[in-house]
Every structure is written in structure tokens, then in C-alpha cells.
Amino acid sequence: MVHLLTTATLDRLRELYPQGRFEIRRFRLNIVVQLASGEKGFAENTWVGHTLAVGEAVRLHITAPCGRCVMTTLAQEDLLSDPGILPRRHSITKPTSPYTFLRY
């Protein structure tokens, strides 16, 4: 299983929940994608059922959204505990997908 997220999604989550700290390390991602297209928001939701190319040799077949656990809300180093992170992410990304993070 590989977890990825776009910087566009992180930016959108920050706009919608400015009191939260949506930082990459909070979500323990394997891959962070910066979209060349400049697309905004939750681009990952449209990738299920497609194949993503990473460089010349790696191909990831996107099979399903991937749920994240309560760990994303817990304190980590200088990130304070924020129980609003998980419910916020779930409510924002529906109805397209219950999660922004994808399983490959």
C-alpha cells in the first residue's frame, strides 16, 4: 500500500480549516504530488481506477480511497493534537470519496 496526497489538497484543506495544521508529516505519506496542471482541490478523488506514472519506471494502479486513523489528529513533535483534522477531512471530501488519501 502506498499513500499519496497532492499539495493542492493540502492547500484546500488549509483554506477550509485555517485553524488546523495540515502538514505533510501529520499524514505519514509515501508520495506528495505537486500538480503541474495547477488544478486546485481534491484531484486524487478522480484518480481511482487509473494508473499514475511516477518517473520513467514506476506505475501505481489506484484501486481505492484509503482511510486514515486517529493518528493524524495526535500531537507529533511540534504539531499539537487536533481532533478537528480527521472529521474536517471526511466532511470536506464527501460525496466523491470519504477520504482524500488513496490506496495503490
Q: What is the mean pLDDT of residues 94-98?
A: 42
Answer whether residue 57 shows pLDDT above 90: yes
pLDDT, residue 56, reads 93
Q: What is the mean pLDDT of residues 17-36?
A: 86
Answer whether residue 27 shows pLDDT above 60: yes
Q: What is the mean pLDDT of residues 56-72?
A: 81
Q: What is the mean pLDDT of residues 57-69?
A: 82
Give the ranges where 1-104 is alpha helix by DSSP (H).
7-16, 24-27, 85-93
Nearest Cα to Cα of residue 44 among 64, 16, 72: 64
Kindly state the percentage of the chain with pLDDT values over 70. 79
Domain residue ranges in the chain: 4-103
Average per-residue pLDDT for the chain: 78
Q: What is the mean pLDDT of residues 40-48?
A: 85
Calpha distance 48→64 (Å, rounded): 6
